[in-house]
């Protein structure tokens, strides 16, 4: 057989095995794995390197306006380039509906932003902030396009859809096999804390972390899970940042609830003390949920190791530390008026590799699961996330021996800071491939704007999760007669 490309001499890693093999690629697909593959129009030497499925970044904000009108600094070109330099072959940013917008308009807008610009394959999760009957009726068309996941918010006045809105969305999602993602923080607790701090003039960035208590996350995760269980719909808790939140996820998974979750590198690398840097430096570390403490970091690592989280995602939300981003409302803006979010799409995988694999906290198989294969399975990217015949040749070749000190210029994004500045990293992605095309090689970008393609996704795979049956829906069993609920 003739191959377009053969990657030879490397160590292939799957979630369950690590073995020496050559990888044969034709027409953008992996077509062979063998101890030795001859030929290939192009031969890539992976001696001493790890050959991994390309990362799939499942939580990032690209060319997205926040509800208060702040545009992210990264568009689909810079965002995808940064993702690729960080070891990703594919990403799934959000297409955000703001109130009053039709879903068709939202998707058309994001198609216009992504298609001409992305250097890697992409899809979207649809953010729904206005679940009117008309909007709910548009959702089946969205599934048909292969957009099979939504995100909803339980916080922020302009985004929070309320418990009833969430039940409506979960119900529609369930009937189409879609997955609902949720930002879980109790809005009223946060607003009450904000009022208390404002009344005494406590508006510096560090109060942001205190205004969003751990209990606000814990309560909202518990409520979100209860809402999803009532209608037995699949739920994905994004950016879990607390011990209490992770414990709820753990407990519910054990019980068989159709539940998935992620955490993010910033909750492992940084603490709320970073918001107390001099001047307004702390604004760079404002994100929601907020950074926590060292004890929580250790607990989150335990949950990563033991399978509570499907993935570690960046939650890349790039707002520059200038008047286009963090300081749109002035250099001395009170914390509630500073954009929430920090960049990290290029650092997610190097950080996870360095702190996880290189430090012995997780195995290489865990790394593959957390960086790629679980996201492919959960979000319905059925040809991605594996080094196996028939899958897209989305591959990252890692040098486990390479060490780097993090700088802003190695992010390749449009940002003016990186919260990971100065950290020592062990292990680096040297080559990133998407459908057989080299995107990044030896620090050079090899792809062009628009080379990435939209990927239509499949319904969520809840595998053998039994789910939950609310007895109240078993009307015949309760009253001996059939009544439509």
Q: Does 238 bind ligand DUC (CB under 6 A)?
A: yes
> Is the dihedral angle over the CA atoms 327, 329, 333, 337 positive or is it negative?
negative
Q: Contact between 149 and ligand DUC (CB under 6 A)?
A: no
- For ligand DUC, which is the closer residue by CB, 31 or 342? 342
CA distances from 336 to 212, 261, 349 (A): 11, 27, 30
* 58 contributes a contact to ligand DUC by CB under 6 A: no
Q: Which is nearer to Zn ion, 125 or 229 (CB)?
A: 125
Nearest-CB residue to Zn ion? 183
Contact 52, 430 (CB under 8 A): no
Tell me which residues touch Zn ion (CB under 5 A): 183, 315
DSSP string, 111-175: HHHHTTT-SSEE--EEE-S---HHHHHHHHHHHHTT--EEEEESSSTTTB-HHHHHHHHHHHHHH
Q: Which is nearer to Zn ion, 155 or 203 (CB)?
A: 155
Pick the closest to residue 82 from 413, 343, 387, 439 (CA basis): 413
Q: Is 288 in the site for ligand DUC (CB under 6 A)?
A: yes
Structure-block tokens of residue 315:
């939650």
Measured from the CB atom, the residue of 183 and 208 that comes closer to Zn ion is 183
Least CB distance to ligand DUC at residue 341 (A): 4
Site string for ligand DUC, 186-205 (x = CB under 6 A): --------------------
Select from 78, 123, 314, 340 the one that contacts ligand DUC (CB under 6 A). Answer: 340
Q: Which is nearer to ligand DUC, 339 or 393 (CB)?
A: 339
- Rounded Cα–Cα distance for residues 383 and 319 (Å): 33
Q: Closest separation between CB of residue 383 and ligand DUC, Å?
A: 27
- Whether the CA torsion 374, 379, 385, 390 is positive or negative: it is positive
For residue 298, the minimal CB distance to ligand DUC (Å) is 23
Q: Which of 315, 355, 366, 394 binds ligand DUC (CB under 6 A)?
A: 315
* Residue 343 C-beta: closest distance to ligand DUC, Å: 11
Among 49, 206, 208, 239, which residue sits at the site for ligand DUC (rule: CB under 6 A)? Answer: 239
CB of 287 to ligand DUC, least distance (A): 6
> Is 183 a residue that touches ligand DUC (CB under 6 A)?
yes
Query: Is 178 one of the binding residues for ligand DUC (CB under 6 A)?
Result: no
Is 317 a binding residue for ligand DUC by CB under 6 A? The answer is yes
Q: How far is the CB of 183 from ligand DUC (least distance, A)?
A: 5
The residue among 176 and 223 lying less far from ligand DUC, judged by its C-beta, is 223
Q: Does 212 bind ligand DUC (CB under 6 A)?
A: no
Residue 118 interaction partner, one of Zn ion, ligand DUC, none, beta carbon < 5-8 Å per kind = none
Give kind and range of the element (H or E) at residue 221. Answer: helix 214-230
Q: Three-state DSSP class for 449?
A: coil
Q: Answer yes or no whether residue 148 interacts with ligand DUC by CB under 6 A.
A: no
CA distance 90 to 2: 26
CB-CB contact of 25 with 281 (8 Å): no
Starting at the edge strand found earlier in the chain, the sheet holding 149-153 runs 94-96, 125-127, 149-153, 179-183, 235-237, 259-263, 311-312
Cα–Cα distance, 30 to 26 (Å, whole number): 7
Length of the chain: 485
User: Strands 235-237 and 259-263: what pairing?
Assistant: parallel
Which partner, Zn ion, ligand DUC, none, binds residue 340 by CB below 5 to 8 Å per kind?
A: ligand DUC
Instruction: Report the SS3 class of residue 20.
Output: strand
44 Cβ partners below 8 Å, 6+ apart?
Answer: 5, 6, 7, 8, 397, 431
Residues of this chain that bind ligand DUC (CB under 6 A): 61, 183, 238-239, 288, 315, 317, 340-341
């Amino acid at each position: 057989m003739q191959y377009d490309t053969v990657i030879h001499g490397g160590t292939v890693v799957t979630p369950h095995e690590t073995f020496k093999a050559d990888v044969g690629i034709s027409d953008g697909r992996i077509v062979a794995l063998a101890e030795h593959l001859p030929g290939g129009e192009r031969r890539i030497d992976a001696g001493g390197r790890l050959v991994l499925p390309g990362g799939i970044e499942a939580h990032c904000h690209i060319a997205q306006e926040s509800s208060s009108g702040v545009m992210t600094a990264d568009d689909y070109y810079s965002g995808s380039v940064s993702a690729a330099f960080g070891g990703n072959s594919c990403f799934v940013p959000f297409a955000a509906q703001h109130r009053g917008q039709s879903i068709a308009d939202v998707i058309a807008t994001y198609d216009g932003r992504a298609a001409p610009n992305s250097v890697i394959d992409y899809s979207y999760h649809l953010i729904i902030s206005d679940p009117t009957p008309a909007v709910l009726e548009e959702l089946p068309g969205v599934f048909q396009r292969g957009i099979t996941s939504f995100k909803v918010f339980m916080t922020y006045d302009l985004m929070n859809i309320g418990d009833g809105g969430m039940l409506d969305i979960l119900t529609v999602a369930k009937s189409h096999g879609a997955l609902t993602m949720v930002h879980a923080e109790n809005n009223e607790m946060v607003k009450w804390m904000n009022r208390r701090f404002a009344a005494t003039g406590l508006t510096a960035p560090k109060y942001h972390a205190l205004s969003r208590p751990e209990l606000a996350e814990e309560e909202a995760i518990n409520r979100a899970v209860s809402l999803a269980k009532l209608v037995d719909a699949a739920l994905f808790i994004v950016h879990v940042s607390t011990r209490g939140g992770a414990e709820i996820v753990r407990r519910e998974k054990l019980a068989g609830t159709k539940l998935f979750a992620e955490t993010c590198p910033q909750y492992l690398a940084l603490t709320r003390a970073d918001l107390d840097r001099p001047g307004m430096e702390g604004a760079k570390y404002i994100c929601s949920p907020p950074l926590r403490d060292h004890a929580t970091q250790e607990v989150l690592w335990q949950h990563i190791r033991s399978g509570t989280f499907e993935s570690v995602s960046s939650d890349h939300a790039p707002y520059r530390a200038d008047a286009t981003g963090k300081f749109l409302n002035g250099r001395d803006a009170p914390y509630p008026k500073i954009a929430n979010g920090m960049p990290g799409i290029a650092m997610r995988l190097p950080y996870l590799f360095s702190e996880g694999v290189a430090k012995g906290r997780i195995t290489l198989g865990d790394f593959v699961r957390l960086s790629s294969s679980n996201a492919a399975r959960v979000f319905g990217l059925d040809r991605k996330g594996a080094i196996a015949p028939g899958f897209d040749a989305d591959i990252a070749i890692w040098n486990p021996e390479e060490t780097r000190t993090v700088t802003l210029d190695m992010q390749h994004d449009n940002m003016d800071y990186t919260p990971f500045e100065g950290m020592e990293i062990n292990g680096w992605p040297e080559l990133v491939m998407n459908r057989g095309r080299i995107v990044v090689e030896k620090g050079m970008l090899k792809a062009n704007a628009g080379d990435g393609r939209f990927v239509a996704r499949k319904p969520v795979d809840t595998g053998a999760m039994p789910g939950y049956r609310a007895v109240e829906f078993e009307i015949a069993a309760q009253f001996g007669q059939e009544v439509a609920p």
